[in-house]
Amino acid sequence: MENEYYDERVKKLETLRAKGIDPYGHKFEGVEPIEKVAAGFTEGSEEKVRVAGRIMAMRGHGKAAFFDIHDRTGKLQAYVKKNAIGDEAFEVFQMLDIGDIVGLDGPVAKTRTGELTVFVEKFELLSKTLMPMPEKWHGLKDPDIRYRRRYVDLFWNPETKEIFRRRVKALARIRELLAARGFVEAETPVLHAIPGGAAAKPFVTHHNSLDMKLYLRIALELHLKRLLVGGMERVYELSRVFRNEGISTRHSPEFTMLELYQAYGDYADMMEITEEIFSTLALEITGSHELTYGEKTYDLKPPYPRRAYGELFEEYAGFSMWDEDAVKKHAGELPQTDESLSAWGLVDMLFEHYVETKLEGPIFVVDYPVEICPLARQKKDDPRICERFELYVGSVEMANAFTELNDPIEQRKRFEEQVKHLADVSGKIDEDYVLALSYGMPPAGGLGIGIDRLMMLLTDSHTIRDVIWFPLLRHTDKA
């Protein structure tokens, strides 16, 4: 069916070219956004405007027709009449299809039904579409096609465009909030000689000129903390990271992270910043601190409760995380236990199994075992515990933060222990990072927020693919 439509429209294109009309137009200057036209309309003025957009509906009546055009700001009805534009132009108009992009000139007024309308005096074809638009009533609903043809999904499904409008607004607002706190935005390397900053499997590539193996970054952390050493006391990056792991409704192999680091701060400061970001975005983007996500409502107005990792573990698992025998016993009873995990890796797996599903939140889970926090500072009153928190909303981890470890000798010990369990990645310690710490990094707090998960919450989306412009999909020969 698509080929049939395609061939028919190619014939129209050839006819237009034979008439000396360029079906792919040219620069169309002086265009006003539809939203501005509507806002500036005064009854009875019949002010002439110049607008442009994609034809999304057509309603013909012989020698006249109504049609709707959409631009980035909204929808506007247009009316074209044969005796207003002339026989030749109307003949060209009759070769237009839904999906074509046009420029229009004419006065705006309201019809008898009260619909704001541009009465076309002149039009130009700016881009001829060759593919058929989605079927009127069912639209573009198949998720796989929507993701593969996001360009169609965006202009055909208003709810998709609204998701990404919210995403754009959220990222801009985050930058404003951080700038107000004195943070500067940095750009750090995507290609790393040694993957670090998280326990994740990286994508591997090769640099031909240097003849060296490189990894796409799995986190932003270690280079940003190098900037703390360099005196950039409040620094952040809002960018993509890559992890060569599974795909699910909450996981994508490439995703957007916000990481920020504040000298002379700690994880309590990071809680305050996290609350500000989540509560501000909820209020300004959705209009309320109370968000509906699925069938539940979450109140993002601060402050959020704090609960210790160990207390939650014992409350829901029924035994202490310090009880090694109980940990091994219960881990062995789970259907998919990873035997390569360390003893504390098993603890964290059990926490995910027993506790995470109970964390409706918003709630800060605080004070993690040191063995699963290689980059966090220990608590003074209990060196078995690190000053770390994770924010959960709807049983989903939304943010992760530390009081940063800045002791180079202790950091080396932690790295040495970590690489024992990451030998399949690189098996190397980032010596340059340890060297950087040896020059002195101020005490600091650090925070990471998964932007895509945050956007899922702010748009009531239930798969991460809905909030990523172009999610990775399995390759197919068909578009």
417 in the same domain as 275: yes
With b meaning 16 or more CB within 10 Å and e meaning fewer, what string describes 367-403? bbbbbbbbbbbbeeeeeebbbbbbbbbbebbbbbbbb
76 in the same domain as 160:
no
What's the predicted TM-score (pTM) here? 0.92
**Pick from 127, 143, 177: which residue ends a domain?**
127
Work out the average pLDDT over 441-468. 97
- Percent of the chain clearing pLDDT 70 (strictly above): 96
Task: Give yes or no: residues 176 and 119 share one domain.
Answer: no
The confidence score (pLDDT) of residue 478 equals 64
pLDDT range class, residue 379, cuts 50, 70, 90: very high
Is residue 266 in some structural domain? yes
Q: Does some domain include residue 135?
A: no
Q: Domain containing 121: what range? A: 2-127
What's the CA gap between 263 and 179, in Å, rounded?
15
State yes or no: pLDDT of 465 exceeds 50: yes
Average pLDDT for 316-327: 95
Check whether residue 84 and residue 167 sit in a common domain.
no
Q: Determine which helix (DSSP H) or strand (DSSP E) holds 379, and give its type and residue range.
A: strand 378-379
Lowest pLDDT segment from 68-77, 102-111, 139-148, 305-314: 139-148
Place of tokens 């070219």: 17
Is there a single domain that holds both residue 192 and residue 232? yes
Report d(CA 470, CA 464) in Å as an integer: 11
pLDDT for 423 beyond 70:
no
Q: Strand 378-379 relative to strand 363-369: parallel, antiparallel, unpaired?
A: unpaired
Report the candidate in 475, 479, 456 with the shortest Cα–Cα distance to residue 166. Answer: 456
In terms of domains, do 226 and 77 share one? no
CATH code of the domain covering residue 106: 2.40.50.140
CATH number at residue 442: 3.30.930.10
Q: Do 121 and 252 fall into the same domain?
A: no
What does DSSP say about strands 306-308 and 184-185: parallel, antiparallel, or unpaired?
A: unpaired
Q: Rounded to an integer, what distance in angstroms lies between the CA atom of residue 140 and that of residue 145?
A: 8
122 and 194 in a common domain: no
Instruction: For residues 216-243, give the mean pLDDT.
Output: 97
Which pLDDT band holds residue 133 (cuts at 50, 70, 90)? confident
The pLDDT tens digits of the residues spanning 341-368 come to: 888 889 999 999 999 999 999 999 999 9
Grade residue 391 by pLDDT with cuts at 50, 70 and 90.
Answer: very high
Query: Residue 61, SS3?
Result: strand
91 and 210 assigned to the same domain: no
Q: Are 98 and 183 within one domain?
A: no
Residue 77, SS3? strand
Q: What are the backbone angles phi and psi of residue 135, rounded to the nearest 5°?
A: -60, 140
What pLDDT band is residue 137 in, cutting at 50, 70 and 90?
A: very low
In-domain check, residue 110: yes
Is residue 439, in this structure, part of any structural domain at all? yes
Same domain as 76, residue 166: no
52 belongs to a structural domain:
yes
> Is 94 in the same domain as 191?
no
- Total domain count, the chain: 2
